[in-house]
Chain A
Amino acid sequence: MNQIVQYIRREEWSPYVAGVLLGIVGVLAVLLSNSLLGASGAFENLAGLVGKALAPKVFDNVYFNFVMPPGITWGVILLVGVFFGGMAGAWTSGTLQWGKKDSANSDSQWKRIFGPQTWKRWALAFFGAIVLEYGAGIAGGCTSGLAISGGMLLAPAAYLFIAGMFASGIVTALIVYRRRY
Chain B
Amino acid sequence: MTNFAIALVLGGFFGFSLNKAGLTKYHKIVNAFRFTDMAVLKFMMTTLVVSMIGLYVLRDVGLITFPAVPATYIVGNIIGGLIFGVGMALTGY
Give A residues with C-beta under 8 Å from B: 10, 12-13, 15-37, 74-75, 77-90, 93, 107-110, 124-125, 127-158, 160-173, 176-177, 181
Contact A81 B80 (CB under 8 A): no
Residues on B with C-beta less than 8 A from A36 are 67, 70
Interface residue from B14, B81, B89 paired with A173 (Cβ < 8 Å): B89
Q: How far is the CA of A33 from the CA of B20 in the complex (A)?
A: 25
> Can you list 12 A-B contacts (CB < 8 A)?
A30-B64, A31-B63, A32-B6, A124-B90, A131-B87, A135-B83, A138-B83, A140-B70, A155-B72, A157-B72, A163-B81, A181-B34
**Residue ID in chain A nearest B7 by CB atoms:** A77
Contact B70 A169 (CB under 8 A): no
Minimal beta-carbon separation of B83 from chain A (angstroms): 3
Residues on B with C-beta less than 8 A from A130 are 87
Contact B12 A23 (CB under 8 A): no
Contact B19 A135 (CB under 8 A): no
**Residue ID in chain B nearest A138 by CB atoms:** B80
Contact A134 B15 (CB under 8 A): no
Contact B58 A81 (CB under 8 A): no
Interface residue from B11, B32, B77 paired with A79 (Cβ < 8 Å): B11
Contact B86 A169 (CB under 8 A): yes
Q: How far is the CA of A146 from the CA of B78 in the complex (A)?
A: 12
Contact A176 B89 (CB under 8 A): yes
Minimal beta-carbon separation of A115 from chain B (angstroms): 14
Q: How far is the CA of A27 from the CA of B49 in the complex (A)?
A: 11
B contacts with A, residue count (CB < 8 A):
73
Give B residues with C-beta under 8 Å from A: 3-4, 6-22, 24-27, 30-34, 39-40, 42-52, 54-55, 58, 63-67, 69-74, 76-93
Residues on A with C-beta less than 8 A from B81 are 135, 139, 160-165, 167-168
Residues on A with C-beta less than 8 A from B17 are 18-19, 21-22, 25, 85, 89
Residues on A with C-beta less than 8 A from B14 are 22, 25, 37, 78, 81-82, 85, 144
Minimal beta-carbon separation of B17 from chain A (angstroms): 4
Q: Which of A15, A16, A88, A164 has the most CB of B within 10 A?
A: A15
Residues on B with C-beta less than 8 A from A87 are 15
A78-B14, A79-B11, A128-B91 given; A168·B82 CB < 8 A: yes
Contact B15 A89 (CB under 8 A): yes
Interface residue from B6, B63, B88 paired with A33 (Cβ < 8 Å): B6
Contact B26 A109 (CB under 8 A): yes
Minimal beta-carbon separation of A137 from chain B (angstroms): 7
Contact A23 B47 (CB under 8 A): yes
